Structure 1
Amino acid sequence: MKAFIRVTALAAAMLLLAIVGLVATVLVDDDAEATELSDGGGGLRGVPAEFRTWILRAAEECKQPELTPALLAAQLYQESKFKTSRAEATSTAGAQGPAQFMPGTWATWGRDDDKNGEASPWDIGDAVMAQGRMMCSLVKQAKGSGYPGDVRALALAGYNAGWGRVEQYRGVPPKSFAGGETYNYVQIILSTMSRFEGPGLLTVSGSGTGADALRKAATRMGTPYAYGGGGPSGPSTGFCDGTNGYLGGKCAASSTVGFDCSSLVQYAYWPKLKLPRTADAQYGATSDRPVSRTDLKPGDLLFWAHGGSGYVYHIAIYAGDGNVLHAPRTGKRVELAPLTSAMPQGDYLGATRP
């Protein structure tokens, strides 16, 4: 990570862009009614879409409540302003990538989290997950240190200047240390993280079977794709069939707890509507209630077949505003995506209203 932050970064940090603002986190038990609420630091807003899923995942995996998505987002903005190019995200000290890791530190925390075959501080997924792991460890260290002050501040100071400096000063290094650069780094992030706080990624309005199903499915955003996995009770491990479920030449589905496209839909509508298990069967069960593309409503089902006819290979739930909620493929997670690019446009078969 960057060794230090200049005081002038305070002015830059105040120019945060509100990039995305459609939001409300949805919480639900498997068989309960879904409820919308704004959950403060548990949600996220104002970050580029390509960072969002990884920030939420990194915060969730930490299990330390102090490490919220908003804290990680504010730290990323302070480190790199979400820049990812080598020209813009390489510091004079040699720190690299959006989370600004020095090579030696990256060797400890970096992993191939995005499963592209390389652990790189330039890959958004790898960088954010490494940032989350390191910050999670520092929060735990801060809690056990007995040093006074906010454990988040102690962790941020450790990330910026090294935990040894926190031990040296038995807390956040004072303004007198390095011209106050670490002190200001901590203060800027803690004071600006509220700009990133917000509900989750999807707001669902209205009532009825379709809206309720969409709310329920939205609680599973970020869940891994597992071919053959999942069902009415939730995610589960899947299987490989000789063609599907593989990643990097290995069967990923059998060791991944998740949903595939049709099990997510089945889960979302269950038990009010007990749809069959596969996308093709779900189309057969609802095709007598077709919906034109211009009349889509949240909760409608959308189908894709090769060439736009024949066997249905994919299903998604319409989420409004031209987006769908779906489990796309092995190696991906349940996500929102534009209808126009979720699957090949030439394969779009049509939509139904269950």
Structure 2
Amino acid sequence: MKIFRACAVVIAMLVTAGFGLVVIILDQDADADGGGSLGSLGALKGVPAEFRPWINKADQECKHPELTGPLLAAQLNQESHFKTHLTSDAGAQGPSQFMPGSWDTWGRDSDGNGTADPTDIGDAVIAQGRYMCSLLGDAKSSGYRGDPRRLALAGYNAGWNAVRKARGVPPYRETQNYVRTIMATMKDFEGSPDLKVTGSGIGADALRKASGRMGTPYSWGGGTPSGPSTGFCDGTNGYDRQTGKCSADKTSGFDCSSLVQYSYWPTLKLPRTADAQYGATADRPVSKKDLQPGDLLFWSHRGGAIYHVAIYAGDGKVVHAPRTGRNVELRALSSAMPAADYHGATRP
């Protein structure tokens, strides 16, 4: 299977070095991924658990970096305080407060239950993200002065025609308060990373670098030693499971092996694929009982080519880029990949 290529990454040139002292603090308030098709957002706080994976997905699907989880969360809080079955006096419905006409344009059955419903959390949040992403595109290409996030929020509240007419945020008290409040409260929804690493040494440095990328989308074939990049589809990999369309070529992110390569670069210049990374480090195997933060863990099908690599984070957890549709995450080693596929660990 071709997934072996992009999900594999290790070291082409190795430097023998100690891992140094590493202190790891796991954020006990962070939501763990329950094993569904959507990842968790370790960088959010104050968001109901049932909203977190959908905010994650909406953020991931937008190509504009201005759309972030905290922005969507602050907007949801302003629209409905995360209430689902809410209808305004004007007829706006659900947590994202869609008017019927707007819902006809942006609403989809995103949660797969057979109905596109503005009161369903998944349908509403994904539609909100899709609409905001489009508005951000309008704002950035408009040439109007001001933060494109403010312009997009104004368009969501008052309609883009009102923004176009005003060539900026319209002079409506409601809209100006709406924009001001959301921009000011975004910080209230910014959480700390799931993993905090202190200490020095090659292992600590690589783990710290990897943990700083949690929440970055998975992109098959994407990622370089310099950071996230768009990937590609090859006929088998990189496709959205729901639509069947290529998503990797529109998603800036990492696959499993490029995340490892990025995390160790330039101290150790690892090769690009997981299979090559295993080959480069296989002479330094590590048993599960002796794992240290920064060790590399590998998975294969029936002892064949390595198809996945992750970085050990301590306390029985790994940091990895799991697959298309998910984000870089902190995950229990026991559930990161099928237990029967675990191949072994090495120490760079």
Q: TM-score range by the shorter chain?
A: 0.5 to 0.7
TM-score scaled by length of structure 2: 0.62
Listed as ranges, the matches of 1:80-119 within 5 Å are 80-82=80-82, 88-91=84-87, 95-109=92-106
The yes-or-no answer on 1:319 pairing with 2:329 is no
1:205 partner SS: strand
Q: Give the match for residue 53 of structure 1.
A: 56
Could you tell me how far 1:265 is from its partner in structure 2? 1.4
- State the distance in 1 between where 2:335 and 2:247 align: 25
Q: What is the letter of the counterpart of residue 50 of structure 1?
A: P
User: Which of 312, 329, 336 is the aligned partner of 1:342?
Assistant: 336
Q: Give the conservation status (yes or no) of the 8 Å contact 2:56–2:69.
A: no
Could you tell me how far 1:135 is from its partner in structure 2? 6.5
Q: Give the match for residue 263 of structure 1.
A: 258
Could you tell me how far 1:221 is from its partner in structure 2? 4.1
**Cα-Cα RMSD:** 4.8
1:351 partner SS: strand
Segments of structure 1 that go 5 or more residues without pairing to the other structure are: 1-17, 23-42, 175-181
1:204 partner SS: strand
Aligned length: 298
Could you tell me how far 1:159 is from its partner in structure 2? 4.1
- State the distance in 2 between where 1:243 and 1:145 align: 43
Q: What is the letter of the counterpart of residue 133 of structure 2?
A: R
Listed as ranges, the matches of 1:207-286 within 5 Å are 207-234=200-227, 235-240=229-234, 243-247=236-240, 248-249=243-244, 252-253=247-248, 258-286=253-281
Q: What is the letter of the counterpart of residue 213 of structure 1?
A: A
Could you tell me how far 1:89 is from its partner in structure 2? 3.5
Could you tell me how far 1:314 is from its partner in structure 2? 1.0
Higher relative contact order (CA 8 A, sep 6+): 2
Taking every aligned residue pair, what percent have the same amino acid on both sides? 58
Could you tell me how far 1:254 is from its partner in structure 2? 5.8
- State the distance in 2 between where 1:305 and 1:151 align: 45
2:331 partner SS: strand
2:196 partner SS: coil
Q: Give the match for residue 3 of structure 1.
A: none
Could you tell me how far 1:76 is from its partner in structure 2? 1.2
Listed as ranges, the matches of 1:1-354 within 5 Å are 20=30, 44-47=44-47, 48=49, 49-51=52-54, 53-54=56-57, 57=60, 61=64, 63=66, 69-82=69-82, 88-91=84-87, 95-109=92-106, 121=118, 122=120, 123=122, 126-130=126-130, 132-133=132-133, 136=136, 144=144, 159-160=156-157, 171-173=171-173, 189=182, 192-200=185-193, 202-234=195-227, 235-240=229-234, 243-247=236-240, 248-249=243-244, 252-253=247-248, 258-306=253-301, 309-354=303-348
TM-score scaled by length of structure 1: 0.62
- State the distance in 2 between where 1:246 and 1:183 align: 40
- State the distance in 1 between where 2:116 and 2:199 align: 43
Could you tell me how far 1:129 is from its partner in structure 2? 1.4
